[in-house]
Amino acid sequence: MTGSLLDRFGRNIEYLRVSVTDRCDLRCRYCLPTGFNGFEAREEWLDFGEIERIVAAFVRLGVKRIRLTGGEPLTRRGITELAGRLAQLAGLEDLSLSTNGTQLAGLAAALKAAGVSRINISLDTLDRHRFEALTGRDALAEVLAGIKAARLAKFAPIKINMVVLPDTSAAEIDAMVSYCRDSGLILRLIEAMPIGASGRGVGFVSIQPTITRIQEKFNLVAGIAKGGGPARYLVSSDGRFSMGFITAMSRHFCATCNRVRLAADGRLLLCLGEDASADLRTSLRQGISDNQLDAQIRSAIARKPYRHEFNERPEKIVRFMASTGG
């Protein structure tokens, strides 16, 4: 390993999110535009050998955490094989995965055996009819079955990601808090971001008032939880329940950003709110050496922007969330 991967602002990049597909079996209204069908052709995706080579380069350069994402990563055939290959990389300390949970019941045990240690599951409501309205599918039962399978497989921790929309009710949030607390899950509330027309179309609501209300209602205090992301956490007084808040809009965390994203087509995306990227796929397919790959990654990290402009220029990002990589 060749040490730390620092950007020009002195931030240590130690976390890479790897999208294995831009496709998803749900149509969450803040993620994919209605009727969208312009996905990448499968031959434009990185193959497993290319993903492994890029991840190995990041690990050589000091990255400790890898998260597999999508789209929906569990729709990519052979995902457990890829997880197993990445888990064997010397120097990698944490391999995790984000999923919508619809396919998880049948894959949880295999993913755990392959070396995935932590799972994040997207779930915005526990109401079946609202779930279908938000995602375009009556699949809440499948997601809940996936969560049960993840618990049985002994993933730790299991985090539930709930995007808070302008029409999300306090009752929905409270029901999710109770469900996660009773099930031994970590709940994270996430502010919707204006990524693509679909992201801008749902509108924005700050979760700062919700943080105050939840803290008082459920008697939570400041705490921490395992992970490499930007969430701030509250915990119960007995330490048995944790709840996180990702506030990219109302209180951004750009000064401590430690991550970049690898899109399914091989673009290294340097910031959620910027189009800055590096085309690693073309370089790989032109026969770049490992030393040249390391240098290209370092050069890209040197161009990582300091912060997003979601509030100042919400129209800036055209790509949608599914093509960004979780």
Structure-token pair, residue 227: 């992970």
Question: CB of 85 within 8 A of CB of 125?
Answer: no
Specify the pLDDT at position 84.
98
Q: What's the pLDDT tens digit per position in 205-231?
A: 899 999 999 999 999 998 877 666 677
pLDDT (average), residues 91-109: 98
Specify the pLDDT at position 9.
95
Q: Is the pLDDT of residue 186 over 70?
A: yes
CA atoms within 13 A on the CB side of 135: 26
Q: Is the pLDDT of residue 19 over 60?
A: yes
Cα separations in angstroms, 309 against 4, 276, 305: 27, 13, 10
| CA 43 to chain CA mean position, Å | 23
Q: What's the pLDDT tens digit per position in 65-79?
A: 999 999 999 999 999
Helix (H, G, I), strand (E, B) or coil at 190: strand
Q: What's the pLDDT tens digit per position in 130-169?
A: 999 999 999 999 999 999 999 999 999 999 999 999 999 9
**Radius of gyration of the CA atoms of the chain, in A:** 19
Structure-token pair, residue 212: 């105050």
Question: CB of 15 within 8 A of CB of 258?
Answer: yes
What is the pTM assigned to this prediction? Answer: 0.91
d(CA 245, CA 263) in angstroms, rounded, equals: 25
- Nearest in space to 85 (alpha carbons), one of 40, 131, 127, 51: 51
Q: In this predicted model, which residue has the larger pLDDT, 85 or 205?
A: 85
- Nearest in space to 14 (alpha carbons), one of 60, 62, 52: 62
Specify the pLDDT at position 273.
75
Cα separations in angstroms, 314 against 198, 309, 311: 12, 7, 6
Q: What's the pLDDT tens digit per position in 111-129?
A: 999 999 999 999 999 999 9
76 CB-near residues (< 8 Å, 6+ apart): 20, 21, 70, 82
Helix (H, G, I), strand (E, B) or coil at 75: helix
Q: Is the pLDDT of residue 247 over 90?
A: no
- Nearest in space to 267 (alpha carbons), one of 196, 315, 222, 324: 324
Q: What's the pLDDT tens digit per position in 290-320?
A: 999 999 999 999 999 886 656 555 555 554 5
d(CA 160, CA 188) in angstroms, rounded, equals: 6
Cα separations in angstroms, 53 against 106, 149, 153: 28, 31, 29
Give the other-Cβ count within 10 Å of 148's Cβ: 14
Q: Is the pLDDT of residue 1 over 50?
A: no
Q: Is the pLDDT of residue 278 over 90?
A: yes
Q: Is the pLDDT of residue 323 over 80?
A: no
